[in-house]
Amino acid sequence: MKSEAWLGALDDRLAAQLKFLLAADRLKEVYRACKVTSGARFENSAEHSWHLTLFALVLKEYAVTPVDIARVVQMLVLHDLIEYECGDTPIFAAEAVDQAAREQAAADVVFGLLPADQSKELRTIWEEFEAAQTADAKFAKALDRLQPILQNHAVGGGSWIAYDVDIERERALTNKIEKGSPTLWAAANAVFEDAVKCGWMKKAP
Amino acid sequence: MKSEAWLGALDDRLAAQLKFLLAADRLKEVYRACKVTSGARFENSAEHSWHLTLFALVLKEYAVTPVDIARVVQMLVLHDLIEYECGDTPIFAAEAVDQAAREQAAADVVFGLLPADQSKELRTIWEEFEAAQTADAKFAKALDRLQPILQNHAVGGGSWIAYDVDIERERALTNKIEKGSPTLWAAANAVFEDAVKCGWMKKAP
């Protein structure tokens, strides 16, 4: 059923770029531990990435240090892309010892589809996000932690219940939000306290 | 199961912004006429929007007029948002006489959730996209037309077969691509010709 004949009609650079974009489509079938707010199904990493770009546009005023919103949005577009090669690791799962190596290998495959200049450009942005050291990356990370909190609350517990999470563990796993935005960290804590009250998150370990 | 008690702990502005972002989640359950490239299911408008932002980052060099890529990406993040209120209208469907009015009414509801300044800011960007007059909007529209072409081809016909489309009609419906990027329009035509050869699109009306 597949036909790549048409790619032969294009120059090599454009053909490589379109192959990259078609491969990226697979991110739509990488499912996360978190559900969409209707509770109907698990969220995939592509729609999650879109949602985060909207978070960035709307919440940029709360970044603790002024951010370059265009760069934050680019990071969020790219931040989970390698998952179509190596899958999503839920925040509550124990980190595999070889996770960093697996992610680098996936990045070689994914970004390797692009022409060299563009491969380097986009991988550099992704690595900046991963390192979480710059103001832009810290704010992007904060949003990536905040969004599933709101969704877990909206569905009445979600992965907090599935993974038997208590408020201390949840705070420890999401306190990167504070580094990007103390205001949003306060909001996250209001959510946690309500979730404990509602019985969706344990009060103590 | 719903609890909005925690929103009361926040100031009104942030509470409105988070309500807007939670409502936007519904875009993940607006399904389009086009399938993801595995063919497993129909694509939703949230993941489609993410995919287009990636198209913009990778294909920006092909814009016929230099574009402000940050603005193009913002347009693409927002371009389908109102669909969670008024649904997606497939390109092959006859346009309802009241479509423009329905979309404006949906925009009132969707952007109306935001604080007034931000509501105006984001709605202005969306309306620029809809009008398709500026260089940024023309390029964003071109990408919005190009992506389903690649996906229909990848699944062996997709909505071309479902809607019994011929190459002339398809060209007429997607020729906005040329206004944003003659290079990408040539690529789209290479796809169409291959689709006709493969029997996935009719040669004549």
A93 phi/psi in degrees, rounded to 5: -80, 145
d(CA B81, CA A70): 19
d(CA B166, CA B183): 22
User: Which residues 115-154 of A have a C-beta within 8 angstroms of B?
Assistant: 118, 122, 147, 150-151, 153-154
Domain that holds residue B35: 11-198
B2 lies in a domain? no
CB contact A111 to B (< 8 Å): no
CB contact B18 to A (< 8 Å): yes
What 3-state class would DSSP assign to B42? strand
* Contact state of A53 with B51 under an 8 Å Cβ cutoff: no
**CATH number of the domain residue A90 falls in:** 1.10.3210.10
On average, the pLDDT of chain A sits at 95
Residue of B nearest to A17 (CA): B58
CB contact A181 to B (< 8 Å): no
CB contact B11 to A (< 8 Å): no
* DSSP designation for A106: H
A204 lies in a domain? no
- Phi-psi category of residue B94: left, alpha or beta, with phi > 0 → left and psi -120 to 50 → alpha: beta
A128 lies in a domain? yes
> pLDDT at position B2, please?
66
* DSSP designation for A166: B
B163 lies in a domain? yes
* Alpha-carbon distance A184 to nearest alpha carbon in chain B (angstroms): 9
**pLDDT tens digit string along B190-204?**
999 999 999 999 997
Compare CB distances from A74 to B26, B57, B190 and report the shortest one's residue: B57
Number of domains in chain A: 1
A1 has a pLDDT exceeding 60: no
| Residue A203 CB coordination number (10 Å) | 11
Which H or E element spans position B33?
strand B31-35
B6 lies in a domain? no
pTM of the model: 0.97
> pLDDT at position B145, please?
98
Compute the Cα dihedral for B116, B117, B118, B121 and give only its sign.
positive
* Alpha-carbon distance B20 to nearest alpha carbon in chain A (angstroms): 9
d(CA A43, CA B17): 21
d(CA A107, CA A85): 8
B172 lies in a domain? yes
**pLDDT tens digit string along A140-177?**
999 999 999 999 999 999 999 999 999 999 999 999 99
A63 lies in a domain? yes
* Alpha-carbon distance B21 to nearest alpha carbon in chain A (angstroms): 7
A6 lies in a domain? no
CA A85 to chain centre: 15
Least confident of A36-50, A88-102, B55-69, B139-153: A88-102
Beta-ladder partners of A44: A31
> pLDDT at position A2, please?
66
Compare CB distances from A38 to B29, B156, B187 and report the shortest one's residue: B29
Amino acid, single-letter form, for residue A12: D
Would you place residue B5 in the very low, low, confident or very high pLDDT band (cuts 50, 70, 90)?
confident
On average, the pLDDT of chain B sits at 95
In a mutational test of the B interface, the residue from A1, A6, A7, A45 whose CB has the highest number of chain B CBs within 10 Å is: A6
Closest by alpha carbon to B28, among A108, A34, A104, A160?
A34
d(CA B108, CA B135): 26
d(CA B62, CA B188): 13
Take residue A105 and report the two structure tokens written for it. Answer: 């290998």
**pLDDT tens digit string along B108-146?**
999 999 999 999 999 999 999 999 999 999 999 999 999
